[in-house]
Each structure stands twice: as C-alpha cells, then as structure tokens.
C-alpha cells in the first residue's frame, strides 16, 4: 500500500480485528509493504484481485522497459569501449613502429 491516507483502520472493523490483521500482514512497517484491506463480499474481493492483477501487469511492463533500456545502454557502452580499445591498439602499434624506426 503506497497511499498513506489509505493506511487507516476502516470504521466497520474493531480495533482487535485490525491489530490481528496487521500482525498477520507482518506489522505496519513490513518489508513487503503489505496492508490489510477490509472487503465485504465476493464482488469486492474480485475487484481487489483485478486491481492487483492490473498493478502487477503494469509493474511487469515497466520492468520490461527498464530491461530493454539497460540492454541498449550496455550494448552502446560495449560498442564505445571496443572502439576506444581498437584506437588504443592502433596508437600503440603506431608508436611501437616509430620506436623501432629510430
């Protein structure tokens, strides 16, 4: 749960039930960011699942974009480094040839 305003106990849930749900989620500051959600009925459960599925799909698309960008950066960097290394080798060969001529 990202929205801090949504991190409140719903009015229709007792404090004891809420604390139990928080403990089961791993506490307020759990590393996975889990937060209990009060749902009533299958329709709300289904809507919540669909929203979570949409968020997962969005995150996967974002990660795919990041992977593609990272790959293109790596390819460009490797190309540049190869060109620079080739230039250094040419310069080295030229300098070695000059040295041998003297």
Q: Residue 33 — very low, low, confident or very high, per pLDDT cuts 50/70/90?
A: confident
Instruction: Give residue 16's Cα distance to chain centre.
Output: 35
pTM of the shown model: 0.63
Tens of pLDDT, residues 49-100: 999 999 999 999 999 999 999 999 999 999 999 999 999 999 999 999 999 9
The rounded distance, in Å, linking the Cα atoms of 34 and 27 is 8
Residues 58-61: contacts with CB under 8 Å, at least 24 apart? none
Q: Which residues of 67-81 are buried (b: 16+ CB within 10 A; e: fewer)?
A: eeeeeeeeeeeeeee
Identify the helix (H) or strand (E) that includes residue 8: none
């Amino acid at each position: 749960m990202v929205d801090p305003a949504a991190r409140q106990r719903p009015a229709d849930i007792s404090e004891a039930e809420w604390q139990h749900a928080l403990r089961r989620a791993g506490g307020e500051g759990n590393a996975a960011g889990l937060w209990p959600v009060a749902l009533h009925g299958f329709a709300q459960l289904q809507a919540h699942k669909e929203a979570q599925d949409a968020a997962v799909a969005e995150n996967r698309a974002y990660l795919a974009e990041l992977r593609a960008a990272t790959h293109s950066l790596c390819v460009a960097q490797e190309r540049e480094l190869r060109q620079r290394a080739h230039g250094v080798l040419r310069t080295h060969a030229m300098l070695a040839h000059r040295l041998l001529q003297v």
